[in-house]
Amino acid sequence: MLLLLFMFQLLIGFTVMEAQTQSDGSHGSANSEPLDLVSAVKTEPRGTAAPGFDLTALDTKVDPCIDFYQYACGTWRAKNPIPPDRSRWGRFDQLQERNIETLHNILEQASIDNSNRSAIEQKIGDYYAACMDEQGIDRKGIEPIEPELDRIAALQDKNVLADEVARLHGIGADVLFSFSSGPDFKNSRDVIAQADQGGLGLPERDFYLKNDAKSVELRERYLEHVTDMFELLGEPPQQAQVKAQAVMNIETALAAGSLDVASRRDPAKVYHKMPRRELSTSLNPSFSWPRYLSETNAPPFESLNIAVPDFFTRLDSLIKNTSLDDWKAYLTCTWFTRRHRSCLRRSSMRISTSMARL
């Protein structure tokens, strides 16, 4: 009997912790009005909650044998409507916001210049203060990233694409493809190298290939967004449009060689283990894989999983048939939009606005 009671209480606890209100779910409250995020976070007083699950979250007017979900968290849901900027709101969302506020307070305190700060606090605080120096960021414009832009602009031929892609991968830019390691699908004791599709600015291939009205409009807006980005980097409007179209052409070609989301759910369709030499000799000889692997400091390996072989075959054709100038535009766009848009604080609000329309 005690064991059953314990299990029942444990079930309530897990249900309360997972409690969430979905805007389109069957458990949504019909008469609850959304609150602003700050109000939602402050609904429960901080530092006063008792350990374990909150009994005040229960709706004891409901028979748990009829509607256990409502019984376990109905009162909490009634007191915590979904904030207007969210599609869901639950205890874990509350916890996340609380953690963010805690971290924010730590940074604010660390950024105060005083002699009592430790060396670590000074590093953290000064870094945060530099990020929050809006006037300084606006004043410098693209100056901090000009060396990177100049580096890409100075590429002499397509033979050095491998070096630049390796460098950009090293700083987190999703260029051309992805390269990493992971368990062998057929022998989980082995961790092997894996090369996969990538390099898209939009979420996945269908955004580039569908021809319904919504997809066409989205691509038009994405093209405007990339054009805005090049203009913010100092390109004249007409040249910015040319470069943006080059980026769109390359990404569309990459998308055409990519697997769709549904197909990628089948492990057999993303597992093609083969000798490393296949990349350089048959699939993608136009890309210098030995140079790429050397620049990424990849350990020696004889075989790897090439998740989507057709992607690398198409990539090879794309490298051959695309001009160096177009590749420079693509590399610049991918590097900037993924890594350093924030260096143009006020101007990047224009980019953010254009992205919000997508």
| Average confidence (pLDDT) over 68-75 | 93
Whole-angstrom distance, CA of residue 300 vs CA of residue 323: 32
For position 69, what pLDDT does the model report? Answer: 93
SS3 call for 102? helix
Among positive and negative, which fits the CA dihedral 246, 251, 254, 255?
negative
Report pTM: 0.71
> Domain 143-356, CATH 1.10.260.40 — does that match?
no
| Average confidence (pLDDT) over 87-114 | 93
* 46 — pLDDT class (breaks 50, 70, 90): very low
Q: What is the pLDDT of residues 217-249, one digit of tens each?
A: 999 999 999 999 999 898 999 999 999 999 999
For position 358, what pLDDT does the model report? Answer: 54
| Average confidence (pLDDT) over 131-151 | 87
Residue 282 DSSP label: I
* 346 — pLDDT class (breaks 50, 70, 90): low
More confidently predicted of 346 and 5 = 346
Mean pLDDT of the chain: 84
In percent, the amount of the chain with pLDDT more than 70 equals 80
Domain parsing of the chain, residue ranges:
2-23+32-103, 143-356
Question: How does 315-330 read in b/e, with b if 16+ C-beta sit within 10 Å?
Answer: bbebbeebeeebbbbb
